[in-house]
Amino acid sequence: MQWVEAISGVRVLEAAGSRAIDVRGVQYDSRRVTAGDVFVAMKGGSSDGNRFIDTAMRQGAAAIITDSAETFAALRERQPELAVALVEHGRRALAEVSAAVFGRPEQTLKLSAVTGTNGKTTTAFLLEQMLRSVGRKSVLMGTIETHIGDQVRESEHTTPESRDVLAVFAEGVRAGCTEVVMEMSSHALEQERVWGLPVDVAIFTNLTQDHLDYHGTMEAYFQAKARIFAGVGALPPRVAVINLDSEYGDEMCHEFRGATLMTYGMGEFGNYRAENVSLALGDTRFDFVTPEGRIAMHSPLSGRVNVENLLAASCAALARGLTLEQVAHAAEMLHQVPGRFQVVPGSKAAGFFVVVDYAHTDDALRNLIALARESVVGHGGRAITLFGCGGDRDKTKRPKMGRAAGEDSDLVVVTSDNPRSEEPMTIINEALLGVRETQTTFIVEEDRRAAIEVAIRSAKPGDIVLLAGKGHEKVQIFADGTVPFDDVAEAERVLRELKVEVSK
């Protein structure tokens, strides 16, 4: 591709240097540059890509896009033949040039995007499974995994930079995919990492306190999420799917600028509702009531929160052209998402359940404990909840998480969860402020490995042990580095020590 063609859709303030340049790729990380790439040097929250232009050029960069007027002037003076373009918005330029270089795959694929505090990952997984059930080949991009048709790989970020998103989209097109299901985080929407992506169906699950270390206020957090419904450098979505059971559902409806609004809920609100709900572990049933009719739904998922996730996915599937009958048939075959109410193999043989879940907000903890109680805690059974709070994150939610853990648990084990640069016991003591308000018995064990053992060895027949906060994650992050850590593997180790046969 020629340089002039690559930047034809970029909002360029000024361009200089040679125009007859062949462009082979695009990068924003100088370490990944190879010969013939365009290097996009952009200012970020904690670093400035303009500092790494010389490195990119030594690696073979053929052209430079910069959002720094000073850098642009210096490059023109120093290397007048170098192809260089000055832009106002580096991230937008990255998206625009990447779309061109990768052959505009976003125009071929139909994109369904999910945003919200809780439920994004599960809703995205369920929707992809529904699309697959009718023979559609999809790309899935989210917190846990990236799927390109049948290919599965681990995800590094919930929503990557636009260049990496479009690279995956391009792989999807080559693999014959026609759909994309994607999580859109508030950070990605705020930072415009999804600039120019034409969303067909946008889904809002809920909004509860999280990420205030970044957004500052709930209003700013809401406004970041709301950008999905107005379009980020693209037209508004064709369809919005919005949860009216969420406190912010009505407000989010007002932010939608597209044509078709689908609202859902488990009560009297929403055009698409769940009625006659029956819940058991691995057996969820309800009537799906829609403007097009009513149909019985049966799913192997567990709990009220998964009814909401299934409603969201079902509405989006209908918006993408599935029939009510196809949605109901797909619901019967759904698989649980890794790290979301994941029952540890072999725990039932011990007479109690051990469950790993990603819950890392007070709202998610309440939902998790409620799900545990409605699913398996019977006469005499107890809910034992292990949790921690992340370091270098919103400190105000720590006592709230402690209160949520203690309110309906019989025993709480407070431990570490990615303390990062903070002292683990400082974080634990802040969480304990909320636990103590509930008068619930608690145990403090800073070491998460030992804490998991304490929680499981405290269980008796009929109990459920909830290991909350990390879910699918495979590492623990400390001030001095990252170490491998897997809640499921640790739970299996303890069960083996208890002479429980752990089946795979």
For the chain, give me the number of helices (H) and strands (E)? 17, 24
Alpha-carbon span 182 to 370, nearest angstrom: 28
Annotated ligand binding at 120? The verdict is yes
Beta bridge partners of 381: none
Annotated ligand binding at 271? The verdict is no
Annotated ligand binding at 159? The verdict is yes
Annotated ligand binding at 71? The verdict is no
Which amino acid appears at position 353 of this protein? F
Helix, strand and coil in the chain, % to nearest 5: 35, 25, 40
Annotated ligand binding at 91? The verdict is no
Annotated ligand binding at 158? The verdict is yes
Contact criterion met (CB below 8 Å) for 341 and 368: yes
Annotated ligand binding at 393? The verdict is yes
Question: Would you say how long the chain is, in residues?
Answer: 504
Alpha-carbon span 367 to 351, nearest angstrom: 23
Pull the structure tokens for residue 46: 């904690």
Annotated ligand binding at 420? The verdict is yes
Annotated ligand binding at 30? The verdict is yes
Q: Tokens 């011990």 appear where? A: 350
DSSP 3-state of 323: coil
Alpha-carbon span 128 to 368, nearest angstrom: 23
Residue of 163, 3, 25 lying closest to 82 (CA atoms): 3
Residue of 487, 126, 410, 138 lying closest to 284 (CA atoms): 126
Annotated ligand binding at 484? The verdict is no
Alpha-carbon span 49 to 43, nearest angstrom: 6
Alpha-carbon span 337 to 398, nearest angstrom: 26
Annotated ligand binding at 32? The verdict is no
Annotated ligand binding at 403? The verdict is no
Annotated ligand binding at 419? The verdict is yes
Annotated ligand binding at 474? The verdict is no
Annotated ligand binding at 233? The verdict is no
- Residues with Cβ < 8 Å from 244, sequence gap 6 or more? 250, 253, 263, 264, 265, 269, 270
The distance from CA 358 to its chain's CA centroid, rounded to whole angstroms, is: 11
Contact criterion met (CB below 8 Å) for 229 and 252: yes
Distances (CA, A) of 342 to 345, 360, 378, 435: 9, 15, 19, 25
Annotated ligand binding at 45? The verdict is no
Pull the structure tokens for residue 76: 């023109």
Contact criterion met (CB below 8 Å) for 467 and 322: no
DSSP string across 357-391: E---SHHHHHHHHHHHHHHT--TT--EEEEE---T
Annotated ligand binding at 418? The verdict is yes
Annotated ligand binding at 117? The verdict is yes
Annotated ligand binding at 216? The verdict is no
By DSSP bridging, strand 25-27 and strand 12-16 are unpaired
Residue numbering of the annotated binding site: 30, 116-122, 158-159, 185, 191, 193, 393, 417-420, 469, 473
Which segments are annotated as binding site for meso-2,6-diaminopimelate? 393, 417-420, 469, 473
Binding site residue list for ATP: 116-122
